Amino acid sequence: MKTIIEPFRIKSVEPIRMTTRAERERLLSEARYNLFKLHSDDVIIDLLTDSGTSAMSAAQWGAVMTGDESYAGAPSFYRFEAAVRDLVGFRHVIPTHQGRAAEHLLFTLIARPGDAIPSNTHFDTTRGNIEAAGAEAVDLPIPEGRKPAIEHPFKGNMDLAALEAFLADHGPRTPAVMMTVTNNAGGGQPVSLENIRGAAKIARAHGKPLFIDGCRFAENAWFIKLREAGQGGRAIPDIVRDMFALADGMTMSAKKDAFANIGGWLAVNDDALAEAARTRLIQTEGFPTYGGLAGRDLDAIAQGLKEIVDEDYLRYRVRTNAYVTERLDAMGVPVVKPAGGHAVFIDARAFLPHIPPLQYPGHALACALYEEAGIRGCEIGTVMFGRKPDGTEAPAAMDLVRLAMPRRVYTQSHADYIVEAFEELTARKDALRGLKIVKEPKMMRHFRAEFEKV
């Protein structure tokens, strides 16, 4: 059969509250044109994030009931640890309440003021935690990664020549190399095994550890299976094991590729680093066998990790985004190509060329999509990345809108509704206006900034 169906049946549903355009215009204006300030029951299709929004399976809800809430040594922890280790292999697995807590733990331990940490592209919380430690977060994607319309099978790859040159120049102030799989900020694009191997080799030659931000590791492994020479016949868990065997450790948000609503971990091989991390964990997150999570969350993650590497699921998952991307492309909406693993990315700078980057075309498009159809997406562009640590503002490399697909939540007709919203927007896009920021916090301004239409 050609049709790739949702490989699940729906056992439990949540109603969606429908709204009118007039209501949405009022709600967005009251929210100061910041989509993060909306109440989620005022959103019809919520594509703000794929993080923590997965539909858990019956088996996960069953596992929740077996959760053991003991402070120390709960069986839930050992089931979690075994499930994580089975896929990633690291010696020490340290639970955290979500991915950024793992990043905070890692960077407060390894980064010092004046240091620099290169990556294919840091996610915003990773960047925030590196900068909070006084260090610099440096992005070294391949050039294709910054050109939305160019097709490349592994657009998330790191520019290895740039990494080599960076370490030659800045080796003494570089405590580690990072690699984000898939490359979320760069469009949900995958990284090849060959590229991870290359980065690991360069890092090792300079005596630096390689850490993988593994949030969407299963989607990355699926793309490796589909696109990398010699990988087509291999099982997903084996590809996953190969990816992590090249690294010295990882940070993880279990809110993505573990189908959990909360959770994460830091995993490392280095005994001394693990010891320091566990000591810090007790101060900030909790005892090392729960790390800020309930035992039931640990069990949901353990079960989710078994389900996430299922090929029928991954085939459907990646197809959902490819379907919307292809439909938008066919109607002339500029999209990041090929489709990423967890989201559809629209090139708002190309879609709305009359709005200059410092009037935030990505944000303008995200606001218009909400007003038009009640769909909530997220700007990944100059609002998110334009304010530099020295206080100056400059256009980001790209102005994208991300429509992130929650896992196992929406169906084909929701996808068609999204496409129809773009038909409507395309017809009146020249009338869309940019925005200006009237209030912003010091860091990660996109979450809480307030805007006015210009």
Q: Beta-carbon neighbour count of residue 17 at 10 Å?
A: 11
At 309, list the tokens.
């590497």
**Count of residues that interact with ligand F0G, criterion CB under 6 A:** 16
Residue 123 in the binding site for ligand F0G (CB under 6 A):
yes
Residue 264 in the binding site for ligand F0G (CB under 6 A):
yes
Residue 213 in the binding site for ligand F0G (CB under 6 A):
yes
What is the distance between the alpha carbons of residues 48 and 234, in angstroms, rounded to a whole number?
Answer: 33
Residue 253 in the binding site for ligand F0G (CB under 6 A):
yes
Query: Applying CB under 6 A, which of residues 54, 180, 321, 325 lies at the interface with ligand F0G?
Result: 180
Beta-carbon contacts of 178 under 8 Å, excluding residues fewer than 6 positions away, are 117, 118, 119, 120, 122, 126, 210, 211, 212, 213
* Shortest distance in whole angstroms from residue 181 CB to ligand F0G: 8
At 122, list the tokens.
């840091």
Cβ nearer to ligand F0G, comparing 264 with 386? 264
Peptide bond into 182 cis (omega under 30): yes
Yes or no: say if 366 and 344 are a contact pair by the CB < 8 Å rule: no
Residue 406 in the binding site for ligand F0G (CB under 6 A):
no
Query: Applying CB under 6 A, which of residues 95, 99, 145, 156 lies at the interface with ligand F0G?
Result: 99
Cβ nearer to ligand F0G, comparing 145 with 434? 145
Residue 382 in the binding site for ligand F0G (CB under 6 A):
no
Residue 184 in the binding site for ligand F0G (CB under 6 A):
yes
Phi and psi angles of residue 124, each rounded to the nearest 5 degrees, phi first: -65, -35
Cβ nearer to ligand F0G, comparing 187 with 434? 187
Cβ nearer to ligand F0G, comparing 210 with 432? 210
Which CA distances in Å does 442 have to 31, 133, 390?
A: 19, 15, 11
* Shortest distance in whole angstroms from residue 49 CB to ligand F0G: 3
Residue 323 in the binding site for ligand F0G (CB under 6 A):
no
Residue 400 in the binding site for ligand F0G (CB under 6 A):
no
Beta-carbon contacts of 176 under 8 Å, excluding residues fewer than 6 positions away, are 110, 117, 203, 208, 209, 210, 211
**The residue count for the chain:** 454
Residues in touch with ligand F0G (CB under 6 A): 49, 51, 98-100, 123, 125-126, 180, 184, 213, 215, 253, 255, 264, 404
